[in-house]
Amino acid sequence: MKFTVTTREGEARDVEARDGLSLMQNIRNSGIEELHAICGGSLSCATCHVYVERVPAGVALPEKSRDERDLLEASDFLEDNSRLSCQLTCRPELDGLRVTIAPED
């Protein structure tokens, strides 16, 4: 699958993802370092916060867990489309997903 990440500077970059890895891992593996992901995906920080701008038609993202909601609610930049990229697993049906890296808290 391929998805697009918009950096904080507004640069849109296409990422060729490895299925089964988290969105966070794929973003970091592509060389986009502004997504800090300090906890490494263990759901104990919110430094991989993204805004989901576009989900392919007919595809639903998994519901946010209570822990994900709690971490996002602590962000000064919480939006309705906020997600932690460590909690989204790349899979073929997400081809065309678009996300924007949230401002740093």
pLDDT tens by residue, 8-56? 999 999 999 999 999 999 999 999 999 999 999 999 999 999 999 999 9
Q: State the pTM of this model.
A: 0.96
pLDDT attached to residue 68: 98
4 pairs with which residues across the strands?
A: 14, 98
Domains of the chain are 2-101 (3.10.20.30)
Residue 69, C-beta contacts closer than 8 angstroms, at least 6 positions apart: none
Q: What is the mean pLDDT of residues 52-66?
A: 97
